[in-house]
Amino acid sequence: MSNKFWSELTHRLTPYVPGEQRHGDSVIKLNTNENPYPPSPGVMAAIAAVDADQLRRYPDPESVALKAALAQYQQLKPNQVFVGNGSDEALALAFMAFFTNKAALQFPELSYSFYPVYCDLLNIEQRRLPMLENFAIDLPAFENNQSGIIFPNPNAPTSLAVSKDEIEALLKRVPDTVVLVDEAYVDFGAQSVVGLVDAYPNLIVTQTFSKARALAGMRLGVAYANEELIEALQRVKNSFNSYPIDAVAQAAGLASIGDEAYFQDCLEKVIATRDATSKALSEKGFTVLNSKANFIFVSPPDENAQRLYDFLNDRNVLVRYWPKGVLSKWLRISIGTQSDMQTLVSAIEKLDYS
């Protein structure tokens, strides 16, 4: 096909590529950072309780009850909360609301690969800042350029986190620049900066229900900021899709927030398995970064990540690999159940690293 009906924009896009979605009872899927445990039983009950009348009607366009619950959970006001179809939608709308027609958007050279995709789509100039030698984000390198700064914390794919104090120092230094902190993985050991939104009018924080709350299949994300920034997101949302969160997702989100004990129990299990896996691989000569996420970033003893990736892939153990540049020596491995990770380590033991 000639693709003659495509626009010039469509031709020049390089879309985001998600991890492989292979299915089957024998597949151990450690390549998409999903939660290995199911959602709260209360979530499943709430989904089952959604009736036909709720489905035949449009959902609450402002997700009032869900926003109120999130505001109470974070000790904010409802007008400081925005919800979207996954944090990716909240991010996309933030790019439109704050970063278009301005100076170059700044983000780390190694970070969420959707950022440059959004920039290409919206014709936003990019400034990618080099990482420090230890793969940490170089926050002092960001400039007060009246455009924007975005970075994940913990970072993806490196799994490293910066502290709340470091982020606050950045916010003080760049008062004229919107700083978006992408906290998709924050619950697994990093420090959230949601509590700083009242003090810093240039701060916006995004989070997701996909990771720690095990609702990746539901698509539900949230942004926290002062009222002015939230109003900007609302304006863009209501110019694009005025009914974004369906009735089922709103019910699931409310139930998830209401079951804190289950939430914390799942976090503890993932963190314990992550730390045990990191220790096991370190003892086998792997370089393992200090993860604060639900995945680990590792380099094998011979630095031949391609060989290990292929070896595991042939055994239906899926991990994430990027074959180019500095990432070519590293693998990103999501944390599964304890049994999943034991299978991973046992498979790795069959490779000769002597």
Q: Mean pLDDT across the stretch 239-253?
A: 93
Query: Which residues, in sequence order, are CB contacts of 87 under 8 Å at separation 6+?
Result: 182, 184, 206, 207, 208, 210, 221, 222, 223
C-beta neighbour count of 25 within 10 angstroms: 5
84 has a pLDDT exceeding 80: yes
Whether residue 184 contacts residue 212, with contact meaning beta carbons closer than 8 Å, is answered with: no
Q: What are phi and psi of 127, to 5 degrees?
A: -130, 105
Helical (H) or strand (E) element with 295: strand 295-299
pLDDT of residue 14: 81
> H/E/C letters for each residue in 231-280?
HHHHHHHCCCCCCCCCHHHHHHHHHHHCCHHHHHHHHHHHHHHHHHHHHH
pLDDT of residue 2: 63
Q: CA-to-CA distance for 221 and 186, rounded, in angstroms?
A: 13
108 has a pLDDT exceeding 90: yes
Query: Strand pairing of 221-225 and 203-208?
Result: antiparallel
pLDDT of residue 240: 87
Q: Mean pLDDT across the stretch 12-27?
A: 74
24 has a pLDDT exceeding 90: no
Mean pLDDT of the chain: 94
Sheet holding 81-84: strands in order across? 81-84, 221-225, 203-208, 178-182, 148-152, 105-108, 126-129
pLDDT by residue (tens digit) across 279-288? 999 999 999 9
7 has a pLDDT exceeding 90: no
CA distances from 258 to 45, 219, 265 (A): 12, 18, 14
CATH architecture of 8-39+261-348: Alpha-Beta Complex (3.90)
CA quadruple 73, 293, 207, 256: dihedral, nearest 10 = -50
Does the CA dihedral 163-169-174-177 come out positive or negative?
positive
Is the peptide bond between 140 and the residue preceding it cis, with omega within 30 degrees of 0?
no
147 has a pLDDT exceeding 90: no
Q: Mean pLDDT across the stretch 186-201?
A: 98
Whether residue 62 contacts residue 233, with contact meaning beta carbons closer than 8 Å, is answered with: no
Q: Mean pLDDT across the stretch 118-140?
A: 95
The answer to whether domain 41-259 has CATH 3.40.640.10 is: yes
20 has a pLDDT exceeding 80: no
This prediction has a pTM of 0.94
Residues in the chain: 354
pLDDT tier for residue 1 given thresholds of 50, 70 and 90: low
- Number of helices and strands (H, E) in the chain? 12, 13
pLDDT of residue 291: 98
Domain ranges of the chain: 8-39+261-348, 41-259
Number of Cα atoms under 13 Å in the Cβ half of residue 313: 15
3-class SS of residue 206: strand
Q: CA-to-CA distance for 137 and 139, rounded, in angstroms?
A: 6
* Angle ∠(11,12,16) on CA atoms, nearest 5: 105
Of the candidate ranges 11-15, 255-259, 329-333, 338-342, the one whose mean pLDDT is the lowest: 11-15
Q: Mean pLDDT across the stretch 169-198?
A: 98
Furthest-apart CA pair in the chain: how many Å?
A: 64
pLDDT of residue 25: 65
pLDDT by residue (tens digit) across 294-314? 999 999 999 999 999 999 999
pLDDT of residue 354: 67
Q: CA-to-CA distance for 115 and 106, rounded, in angstroms?
A: 10
